[in-house]
Amino acid sequence: MIEFRQMVPADADAVAVVEEKCFSTPWSRDSFWRDASNTDAYYLLAIDEEADNRIVGYVGCWILSHEGSITNVAVDPAYRRQGIGRRMLLRLIDIVKEKGVTALTLEARASNMPAIKLYEGLGFRSVGQRPKYYTNPVEAAEIMWNTRL
């Protein structure tokens, strides 16, 4: 049973573990908590209640006036292809809309077609690329926007 809730300080270590499983250049535990503790940020966690409330995914978002910028989206590889990422993003969209956000942006590795397809299914559209945005390996980022929340 997957449930969702906002990140709290005690979650930083478990979020960092998911990050390390998902990305070649992971953020540190301190980076997560510094980012998530900012009043202009919101981090939503996916929790597996049947596995001792294990954190299996997260999404982070900066909220700046009426726009949001999704900073991180990750689902533990053992939990992928179960719709968790989609459900987590839908929940985040509802939360930021309540905070007055009318448009969201994010970047995705240009080669990460599963993520790009997920975002397109949620109304995001590509508006261009940022060359050499990612490292390890070096790759462009697809810049995506959803301006119709």
Note the pLDDT tens digit of each residue in 95-137.
Answer: 999 999 999 999 999 999 999 999 999 999 999 999 999 988 9
- C-alpha 77/C-alpha 22 separation (Å) is 7
Average pLDDT, the chain: 94
- C-alpha 2/C-alpha 53 separation (Å) is 9
* Positive or negative torsion for Cα 77, 5, 33, 107: positive
**Model's pTM, two decimal places?**
0.93
* Three-class SS state of 76: coil
Given a cut of 90, whether residue 34 has pLDDT beyond it is no
Q: Which residue has the higher pLDDT, 13 or 92?
A: 92
Catalytic residues: 107, 119
- C-alpha 36/C-alpha 43 separation (Å) is 6
pLDDT range class, residue 37, cuts 50, 70, 90:
confident
- C-alpha 108/C-alpha 91 separation (Å) is 19
- Tell me which H or E stretch contains 34: helix 29-36
pLDDT digits (tens, 9 = 90+) for 66-90: 999 999 999 999 999 999 999 999 9
Q: Which distant-in-sequence residues (6+ apart) come within 8 Å of 108 by Cβ?
A: 115, 116, 119, 141, 142, 144
